[in-house]
Amino acid sequence: MEATLLLVDDEPKVLDVMSLFLKGEGFRILTARTGREALQMTEEHRPDLVVLDWMLPEMSGLEVCRELRKSYSVGIIMVTARTEEADKIVGLEVGADDYITKPFSLRELAARIRSVLRRVQGRTEEPQVLRRGDLTIDEAKFRVWKGDQEVILTPTEFKILVTLAARPGTVYSRLQLLEAAMGESYWNYERTIDTHVSHLRKKIEDDPSNPKYIQTVYGVGYRFGDRL
Amino acid sequence: MEATLLLVDDEPKVLDVMSLFLKGEGFRILTARTGREALQMTEEHRPDLVVLDWMLPEMSGLEVCRELRKSYSVGIIMVTARTEEADKIVGLEVGADDYITKPFSLRELAARIRSVLRRVQGRTEEPQVLRRGDLTIDEAKFRVWKGDQEVILTPTEFKILVTLAARPGTVYSRLQLLEAAMGESYWNYERTIDTHVSHLRKKIEDDPSNPKYIQTVYGVGYRFGDRL
DNA sequence: GAGCGCCTTCAACAGTTTTTCAAAACTGTC
DNA sequence: GACAGTTTTGAAAAACTGTTGAAGGCGCTC
């Protein structure tokens, strides 16, 4: 659920600073230095949102914006140094989703990016309550009950459980579970999952050595039992 | 169920562009160029929401906003030219429902208008007094009692409390709470929330180190206890 | 308009909880 | 039985939270 951003600016230094910060905020980052490159990158990688400098060599940000709007439903944030009224009006007509004027703080940029992404992506599906056997898993409340007894899970345990319980019977590899639990930028030892599963079983299974909820598929991964 | 908007700006061109677009989005549109005119139009036509430029001749947007708040329960979106002014507005308890900085996109404006309308229209229906355990929270009066003892909260503390108490059990991330407390364009340090929560707990919890109202969910955020 | 006080932000630090990792013990498969 | 994959354990590392105090902004009062 990590969003991909395309940053477009002709100054390498600006790109560097923005990339670094936004990566730290959990976004996947692409960069381009010219309008042409921006269009090409958009075609190839389909980012969720483009941060577009107004002043670009060759093709102005304005033109790039128009082009993007023609062919893609990507979010666009224009970065501009000018504040004159004329620009505002033109800007309004071009169809960017938001504007930000230099100088701006990186935090503000991140905030606006999130705000536009929310709007562009529309509402995410509502979290629900899963019932599996005598387990109740409430995604919105981040809570789990076994019968009427609440079970306290750590964030990672919770995510693994939700992932598995969402599709009983489906086998997930350790890599898939790692991704589900940590996001895609995991760099971890796959076997860490084993440890989490072990802890989970202790908390939710009647008999952890003979699990009915989280079952091992030898040589493949884990699955949530579908006969409870 | 078409909503009526009153657009207030001293520049005819801006009014034109906005009117055109917003009509296309299905709103009924009124316009005014001065604060005085805005107040008069409001009195006569009772719009659902006013989009108010900060910089107006004669009477500033700020004053107009205060006047509107005195007599009407209309939604208000302030339009400001600079981020510094936006800061001010947040700091000030002006009473606008949202604010947007120039240059902005028409899409964003429309999105915010809808969002404010949703909120404003709910304003009359929703019960305004929340009772949770021995807490009484009066949203309309901005006051909170613990038992029959009034608790004095700051504006930010109050908004955080209301957000959490509105849905006991639901977990909110720090980002969501920031948003709820400061509006959509916040760009602050997430952990500022921790400080507010710490202050809140000192004021409303019997035992702040073992909170029953505002509970922390490790790695996720905070929630309002649902077993009081 | 200077001084005061309240509110908010933010960095630093300590204390806590969670996650990772490696080793050893164990189990399943052929 | 040999081999490969899995479970458990405990300790170190990392991540997260609570709290404090300082700094800055703003309104209010005198």
Contact with chain A for residue B108, Cβ under 8 A? yes
Residues A138 and A184 in one domain: yes
| Distance between A227 CA and the closest CA of chain B, angstroms | 30
Residues B62 and B149 in one domain: no
pLDDT given for residue A1 in this prediction: 58
With a CB-CB cutoff of 8 Å, which residues 120-159 of chain B face chain A?
none
Strands (DSSP E) contained in chain A are 4-8, 28-32, 49-53, 75-80, 98-101, 129-132, 135-138, 143-146, 149-151, 171-173, 214-217, 221-224
pLDDT tens by residue, B69-114:
777 878 888 887 655 555 555 434 556 777 777 777 888 888 889 8
> B98: domain CATH number?
3.40.50.2300
Residues B60 and B140 in one domain: no
What residues make up the domain containing A28?
Answer: 4-121
Q: Which residues contact A184 (CB under 8 A, 6 or more apart)?
A: A2, A28
**Minimal Cβ distance to B111: which of A109, A112, A119:** A119
pLDDT given for residue B92 in this prediction: 47
pLDDT given for residue A73 in this prediction: 84
pLDDT tens by residue, A127-145:
789 999 999 999 999 999 9
Q: Minimal Cα distance from B111: which residue of A?
A: A119
Residues B209 and B109 in one domain: no
- Of B86, B121, B156, which marks where a domain is finished? B121
Residues A8 and A103 in one domain: yes
How far lies B78's CA from each of A181, A202, B151, in Å?
Answer: 41, 55, 31
Residues A156 and A199 in one domain: yes
What percent of chain A clears pLDDT 90, i.e. is strictly above it? 48
Residues B116 and B141 in one domain: no
Residues B65 and B19 in one domain: yes
Interval B173-193 mean pLDDT: 86
Task: Reply yes or no on whether the pLDDT at B130 is more than 60.
Answer: yes
Task: Reply yes or no on whether the pLDDT at A213 is more than 80.
Answer: yes
Residues A20 and A101 in one domain: yes
> What is the distance in angstroms measured between the alpha-carbon CA of B200 and the sugar C1' of C8?
14
Contact with chain B for residue A72, Cβ under 8 A? no
- Of A86, A121, A156, which marks where a domain is finished? A121
> A161: domain CATH number?
1.10.10.10
- Strand A4-8, strand A28-32: pairing: parallel
Contact with chain B for residue A101, Cβ under 8 A? yes
Instruction: Output the pTM of the full model.
Output: 0.80
